[in-house]
Amino acid sequence: MNYLTRYYKNLSEQLQEKIDAIKEEIAILEGKSKSNKSHEEKNVDKIKAKDRKKKIKQEEMKDAEEED
């Protein structure tokens, strides 16, 4: 997978995560939370999202180093 393909794939994943988070916030504000997950499950999801973001940043840094 070349640099541009990875870049746009990662960008797409980041944007989808943001969209999902915003949808969840809207549902909560409307009092219609779509998720019946427990507090622990939600925390696990947040940790996984942070790990994905960290991995994406690492890949971007690696790609930037490869370009130099």
In the chain, where the domains are located: 3-67
Tell me: the pLDDT tens digits for 5-37? 999 999 999 999 999 989 888 887 887 655 566
Nearest to 52 by CA among 17, 3, 2, 27: 17
Average pLDDT, the chain: 81
Using only the alpha carbons of the chain, give its radius of gyration: 15
Whether the pLDDT of residue 49 is over 80: the answer is yes
- Cα(61)–Cα(28) distance, rounded to whole angstroms? 35
